[in-house]
Amino acid sequence: MQLIPENEILGAKVIHADLSAPLSLQDRQQIINWLGEYSVLAFEQQELTPRQLRDFSSHFGELEVNVSKIAQDPELPEVMTLSNMVENGQPLGLADAGQDWHTDMSYSKMIAFSNILYGIKIPFRNGRSLGNTEFSSMRAAYDGLPSDIQQTLENKTITHDFNQFWEKMRREKGSSRPPLTKEQLQAKPPVAHPAVLIHPITQKKILYANPGYSVRINELSEKDSSELLAFLFEHQLQQKYRYAFEWREKNVLMWDNIGTIHNAVADYLPEEHRYIKRCQVAANLFFQ
Ligand SMILES: [Fe+2]
Protein backbone atom coordinates (compact mmCIF):
# COMPACT_ATOMS: atom_id res chain seq x y z
CA MET A 1 0.00 0.00 0.00
CA GLN A 2 1.09 3.51 -0.73
CA LEU A 3 -0.28 6.79 0.61
CA ILE A 4 -0.76 9.99 -1.41
CA PRO A 5 -1.82 12.98 0.74
CA GLU A 6 -4.59 15.09 -0.80
CA ASN A 7 -4.47 18.06 1.49
CA GLU A 8 -2.26 19.43 4.27
CA ILE A 9 -4.77 19.01 7.08
CA LEU A 10 -6.69 15.86 6.16
CA GLY A 11 -7.46 13.51 3.30
CA ALA A 12 -5.26 10.97 1.50
CA LYS A 13 -5.49 8.36 -1.22
CA VAL A 14 -4.25 4.83 -0.69
CA ILE A 15 -3.12 2.98 -3.80
CA HIS A 16 -1.98 -0.59 -4.36
CA ALA A 17 -4.34 -1.95 -1.70
CA ASP A 18 -6.72 -4.90 -2.09
CA LEU A 19 -9.29 -4.77 0.69
CA SER A 20 -10.94 -8.01 -0.44
CA ALA A 21 -7.84 -9.98 0.59
CA PRO A 22 -7.08 -11.00 4.18
CA LEU A 23 -5.60 -8.04 6.03
CA SER A 24 -2.19 -8.51 7.63
CA LEU A 25 -1.58 -7.16 11.13
CA GLN A 26 1.02 -4.85 9.67
CA ASP A 27 -1.35 -3.38 7.07
CA ARG A 28 -4.07 -3.00 9.70
CA GLN A 29 -1.72 -1.00 11.92
CA GLN A 30 -0.57 1.07 8.93
CA ILE A 31 -4.19 1.98 8.13
CA ILE A 32 -4.86 2.91 11.77
CA ASN A 33 -1.77 5.14 11.83
CA TRP A 34 -2.71 6.81 8.55
CA LEU A 35 -6.24 7.39 9.84
CA GLY A 36 -4.79 9.13 12.89
CA GLU A 37 -2.65 11.37 10.75
CA TYR A 38 -4.82 12.05 7.68
CA SER A 39 -8.32 11.28 9.10
CA VAL A 40 -9.84 10.44 5.69
CA LEU A 41 -8.54 7.67 3.42
CA ALA A 42 -9.78 6.73 -0.05
CA PHE A 43 -8.88 3.29 -1.39
CA GLU A 44 -9.34 3.27 -5.14
CA GLN A 45 -10.33 0.47 -7.53
CA GLN A 46 -11.76 -1.94 -4.98
CA GLU A 47 -13.87 -4.98 -5.87
CA LEU A 48 -15.84 -5.89 -2.74
CA THR A 49 -18.91 -7.91 -1.89
CA PRO A 50 -20.95 -6.67 1.11
CA ARG A 51 -19.48 -9.57 3.08
CA GLN A 52 -15.94 -8.54 2.19
CA LEU A 53 -16.72 -4.95 3.21
CA ARG A 54 -17.97 -6.27 6.54
CA ASP A 55 -14.94 -8.52 7.01
CA PHE A 56 -12.50 -5.69 6.26
CA SER A 57 -14.39 -3.31 8.58
CA SER A 58 -14.48 -5.77 11.45
CA HIS A 59 -10.68 -5.56 11.77
CA PHE A 60 -11.07 -2.10 13.31
CA GLY A 61 -13.64 -2.72 16.04
CA GLU A 62 -17.17 -3.81 16.75
CA LEU A 63 -19.64 -3.10 13.97
CA GLU A 64 -22.77 -1.08 14.71
CA VAL A 65 -26.21 -2.34 13.75
CA ASN A 66 -28.10 0.85 12.85
CA VAL A 67 -31.42 1.72 14.47
CA SER A 68 -33.01 2.19 11.04
CA LYS A 69 -34.26 -1.09 9.62
CA ILE A 70 -34.88 0.41 6.16
CA ALA A 71 -31.40 -0.27 4.94
CA GLN A 72 -30.22 -3.31 6.86
CA ASP A 73 -29.10 -6.21 4.74
CA PRO A 74 -31.26 -9.12 6.00
CA GLU A 75 -28.25 -11.43 6.07
CA LEU A 76 -25.67 -8.87 7.15
CA PRO A 77 -27.30 -6.42 9.58
CA GLU A 78 -23.93 -4.67 10.11
CA VAL A 79 -23.95 -3.60 6.46
CA MET A 80 -26.22 -0.71 5.56
CA THR A 81 -27.31 0.59 2.18
CA LEU A 82 -27.31 4.34 1.56
CA SER A 83 -29.29 4.98 -1.59
CA ASN A 84 -31.95 7.13 -3.20
CA MET A 85 -32.96 4.25 -5.50
CA VAL A 86 -36.39 2.64 -5.41
CA GLU A 87 -37.25 -0.85 -6.66
CA ASN A 88 -40.86 -2.08 -6.96
CA GLY A 89 -41.95 0.88 -4.87
CA GLN A 90 -39.54 0.00 -2.06
CA PRO A 91 -36.56 2.21 -1.13
CA LEU A 92 -33.29 0.29 -1.56
CA GLY A 93 -31.66 2.14 1.31
CA LEU A 94 -31.65 5.14 3.57
CA ALA A 95 -31.89 8.09 1.17
CA ASP A 96 -30.94 11.00 3.39
CA ALA A 97 -28.32 9.69 5.79
CA GLY A 98 -25.95 12.25 7.19
CA GLN A 99 -27.11 15.29 5.23
CA ASP A 100 -25.83 17.90 7.64
CA TRP A 101 -22.69 18.31 9.77
CA HIS A 102 -22.32 15.67 12.46
CA THR A 103 -20.15 12.89 13.88
CA ASP A 104 -21.50 9.37 13.69
CA MET A 105 -22.41 7.82 17.00
CA SER A 106 -21.40 10.74 19.21
CA TYR A 107 -24.86 10.03 20.72
CA SER A 108 -23.63 6.61 21.75
CA LYS A 109 -21.95 5.68 25.01
CA MET A 110 -19.34 3.87 22.94
CA ILE A 111 -18.49 6.43 20.25
CA ALA A 112 -17.54 5.53 16.69
CA PHE A 113 -13.99 5.07 15.52
CA SER A 114 -14.50 4.73 11.80
CA ASN A 115 -17.01 4.76 9.02
CA ILE A 116 -16.26 2.66 5.95
CA LEU A 117 -18.25 3.27 2.75
CA TYR A 118 -18.08 1.49 -0.59
CA GLY A 119 -19.34 3.45 -3.61
CA ILE A 120 -21.19 1.17 -6.05
CA LYS A 121 -23.22 3.77 -7.98
CA ILE A 122 -22.19 7.43 -7.94
CA PRO A 123 -24.13 10.18 -9.74
CA PHE A 124 -22.24 12.49 -12.09
CA ARG A 125 -23.40 15.71 -13.78
CA ASN A 126 -21.38 17.59 -16.39
CA GLY A 127 -18.39 15.40 -15.63
CA ARG A 128 -18.40 16.12 -11.89
CA SER A 129 -19.36 13.65 -9.21
CA LEU A 130 -22.30 14.57 -7.00
CA GLY A 131 -22.88 13.74 -3.35
CA ASN A 132 -19.45 14.68 -2.01
CA THR A 133 -18.65 13.73 1.55
CA GLU A 134 -17.21 16.80 3.29
CA PHE A 135 -15.00 16.70 6.36
CA SER A 136 -13.64 19.11 8.91
CA SER A 137 -10.63 18.34 11.11
CA MET A 138 -11.34 18.60 14.82
CA ARG A 139 -7.63 18.49 15.63
CA ALA A 140 -7.08 21.61 13.51
CA ALA A 141 -10.28 23.17 14.89
CA TYR A 142 -9.10 22.59 18.47
CA ASP A 143 -5.66 24.00 17.72
CA GLY A 144 -7.31 27.04 16.14
CA LEU A 145 -9.47 27.88 19.18
CA PRO A 146 -8.59 30.98 21.22
CA SER A 147 -6.70 29.84 24.34
CA ASP A 148 -9.39 31.15 26.72
CA ILE A 149 -11.97 28.94 25.00
CA GLN A 150 -9.57 25.98 25.16
CA GLN A 151 -9.31 26.68 28.91
CA THR A 152 -13.09 26.90 29.32
CA LEU A 153 -13.58 23.58 27.57
CA GLU A 154 -11.16 21.69 29.84
CA ASN A 155 -13.07 19.36 32.14
CA LYS A 156 -16.38 20.18 30.47
CA THR A 157 -18.73 17.57 29.10
CA ILE A 158 -21.19 17.85 26.24
CA THR A 159 -24.49 16.00 25.92
CA HIS A 160 -25.19 14.41 22.53
CA ASP A 161 -28.71 13.44 21.49
CA PHE A 162 -29.56 11.09 18.60
CA ASN A 163 -33.10 12.43 18.36
CA GLN A 164 -31.98 16.02 17.76
CA PHE A 165 -30.45 15.17 14.34
CA TRP A 166 -33.33 12.88 13.42
CA GLU A 167 -35.89 15.62 14.17
CA LYS A 168 -33.79 18.27 12.41
CA MET A 169 -33.84 16.16 9.25
CA ARG A 170 -37.63 15.90 9.48
CA ARG A 171 -38.12 19.60 10.28
CA GLU A 172 -35.57 21.30 8.03
CA LYS A 173 -34.81 18.88 5.21
CA GLY A 174 -38.28 17.55 4.44
CA SER A 175 -37.18 14.04 5.30
CA SER A 176 -39.83 11.32 5.16
CA ARG A 177 -38.32 9.56 8.18
CA PRO A 178 -41.03 8.79 10.73
CA PRO A 179 -40.53 10.16 14.27
CA LEU A 180 -38.54 7.78 16.47
CA THR A 181 -40.72 5.33 18.33
CA LYS A 182 -40.72 5.18 22.14
CA GLU A 183 -38.64 2.00 21.92
CA GLN A 184 -36.09 3.65 19.59
CA LEU A 185 -35.87 6.67 21.89
CA GLN A 186 -35.36 4.44 24.89
CA ALA A 187 -32.61 2.58 23.05
CA LYS A 188 -30.81 5.89 22.32
CA PRO A 189 -30.88 8.06 25.45
CA PRO A 190 -28.72 11.24 25.33
CA VAL A 191 -25.13 10.70 26.55
CA ALA A 192 -22.34 13.00 27.72
CA HIS A 193 -18.72 12.97 26.49
CA PRO A 194 -15.74 15.22 27.29
CA ALA A 195 -15.70 18.36 25.09
CA VAL A 196 -12.00 17.78 24.49
CA LEU A 197 -10.75 14.27 23.79
CA ILE A 198 -7.21 13.00 23.56
CA HIS A 199 -7.14 11.26 20.21
CA PRO A 200 -6.27 7.62 20.91
CA ILE A 201 -3.98 7.27 17.87
CA THR A 202 -2.17 10.61 17.80
CA GLN A 203 -2.52 11.55 21.50
CA LYS A 204 -3.38 15.06 20.32
CA LYS A 205 -6.32 17.07 21.66
CA ILE A 206 -9.42 17.28 19.52
CA LEU A 207 -12.70 19.17 19.84
CA TYR A 208 -15.47 16.60 20.31
CA ALA A 209 -18.60 18.57 19.45
CA ASN A 210 -20.80 18.61 16.38
CA PRO A 211 -23.86 20.54 15.22
CA GLY A 212 -25.85 17.36 14.54
CA TYR A 213 -25.94 15.84 18.00
CA SER A 214 -24.35 18.18 20.58
CA VAL A 215 -27.09 19.83 22.61
CA ARG A 216 -25.63 21.11 25.89
CA ILE A 217 -22.37 21.90 27.66
CA ASN A 218 -23.39 20.44 30.97
CA GLU A 219 -21.31 22.47 33.43
CA LEU A 220 -22.40 25.86 32.01
CA SER A 221 -25.69 27.72 32.41
CA GLU A 222 -28.17 27.13 29.61
CA LYS A 223 -27.42 30.58 28.15
CA ASP A 224 -23.62 30.20 28.31
CA SER A 225 -23.88 26.70 26.89
CA SER A 226 -25.98 27.88 23.91
CA GLU A 227 -23.62 30.77 23.20
CA LEU A 228 -20.48 28.66 23.36
CA LEU A 229 -21.98 25.84 21.28
CA ALA A 230 -23.04 28.37 18.62
CA PHE A 231 -19.47 29.73 18.60
CA LEU A 232 -17.97 26.23 18.34
CA PHE A 233 -20.31 25.18 15.51
CA GLU A 234 -19.28 28.21 13.49
CA HIS A 235 -15.60 27.92 14.36
CA GLN A 236 -15.30 24.23 13.51
CA LEU A 237 -16.66 24.67 9.98
CA GLN A 238 -14.14 27.21 8.73
CA GLN A 239 -12.91 26.41 5.24
CA LYS A 240 -9.30 26.13 6.41
CA TYR A 241 -10.14 23.00 8.43
CA ARG A 242 -12.04 21.30 5.63
CA TYR A 243 -11.67 18.75 2.84
CA ALA A 244 -14.31 17.52 0.36
CA PHE A 245 -14.06 13.98 -0.96
CA GLU A 246 -15.27 13.58 -4.54
CA TRP A 247 -16.72 10.12 -5.04
CA ARG A 248 -15.70 7.66 -7.73
CA GLU A 249 -17.27 4.24 -8.21
CA LYS A 250 -15.37 1.38 -6.54
CA ASN A 251 -13.76 3.73 -4.02
CA VAL A 252 -13.76 2.74 -0.38
CA LEU A 253 -13.89 5.83 1.80
CA MET A 254 -12.74 5.27 5.38
CA TRP A 255 -12.59 8.01 7.96
CA ASP A 256 -11.75 8.65 11.57
CA ASN A 257 -14.91 9.80 13.31
CA ILE A 258 -13.15 10.78 16.51
CA GLY A 259 -11.07 13.50 14.88
CA THR A 260 -13.49 14.78 12.23
CA ILE A 261 -17.04 15.91 11.62
CA HIS A 262 -18.65 15.29 8.24
CA ASN A 263 -21.54 16.20 5.95
CA ALA A 264 -23.14 14.28 3.07
CA VAL A 265 -23.79 16.86 0.35
CA ALA A 266 -27.33 16.41 -1.04
CA ASP A 267 -26.84 17.99 -4.47
CA TYR A 268 -28.27 15.17 -6.65
CA LEU A 269 -31.83 14.59 -7.86
CA PRO A 270 -34.02 11.49 -7.31
CA GLU A 271 -33.22 10.27 -10.83
CA GLU A 272 -29.47 10.71 -10.26
CA HIS A 273 -28.86 7.37 -8.63
CA ARG A 274 -26.51 6.74 -5.77
CA TYR A 275 -25.87 3.39 -4.12
CA ILE A 276 -23.37 2.96 -1.31
CA LYS A 277 -22.70 0.22 1.22
CA ARG A 278 -21.59 1.22 4.69
CA CYS A 279 -20.21 -0.22 7.91
CA GLN A 280 -19.86 1.77 11.13
CA VAL A 281 -17.08 0.74 13.47
CA ALA A 282 -17.25 1.46 17.21
CA ALA A 283 -14.21 2.79 19.07
CA ASN A 284 -13.98 -0.21 21.38
CA LEU A 285 -10.35 -0.78 20.31
CA PHE A 286 -9.48 2.37 22.23
CA PHE A 287 -12.13 2.99 24.88
CA GLN A 288 -13.79 0.82 27.52
FE1 LIG B 1 -22.53 10.25 9.13
List pLDDT tens digits, range 130-172: 999 999 999 999 999 999 999 999 999 999 998 888 777 777 7
Q: What is the pLDDT of residue 97?
A: 78
DSSP 88: T
Average predicted confidence (pLDDT) for the chain: 94
Q: What is the pLDDT of residue 59?
A: 97
Q: What is the mean pLDDT of residues 266-274?
A: 94
pLDDT of 11 strictly over 90? yes
166: enclosing H helix or E strand = helix 162-172
Structural domain tally of the chain?
1
Name every residue whose Cβ is closer than 8 Å to that of residue 94 and which is 6 or more positions away in sequence.
Answer: 68, 70, 71, 80, 81, 82, 83
Ligand 1 centroid to 211 CA: how many Å? 12
Structural domain for 128, as ranges: 2-282
Q: Which residue has the higher pLDDT, 165 or 120?
A: 120
- β-pairing, 40-43 vs 12-15, is parallel
User: What whole-number distance in Å separates Cα of residue 99 and Cα of residue 196?
Assistant: 25
Does the residue 105 lie in any domain?
A: yes
Q: What is the CATH number of the domain that holds 152?
A: 3.60.130.10
Ligand 1 centroid to 148 CA: how many Å? 30
Q: Which residue has the higher pLDDT, 145 or 176?
A: 145
List the beta bridge partners of residue 114. Answer: 256, 281
Torsion angle defined by CA atoms of residues 276, 282, 286 and 288, in that order, rounded to the nearest 10 degrees = 180
Does the residue 288 lie in any domain?
A: no
232: enclosing H helix or E strand = helix 222-235
Name every residue whose Cβ is closer than 8 Å to that of residue 89 and which is 6 or more positions away in sequence.
Answer: none
Does the residue 287 lie in any domain?
A: no
pLDDT of 27 strictly over 80? yes
Does the residue 41 lie in any domain?
A: yes
pTM assigned to the model: 0.94
Ligand 1 centroid to 223 CA: how many Å? 28
The string of pLDDT tens digits covering residues 182-240 is 888 888 899 999 999 999 999 999 999 999 999 999 999 999 999 999 999 999 999 99
Does the residue 36 lie in any domain?
A: yes
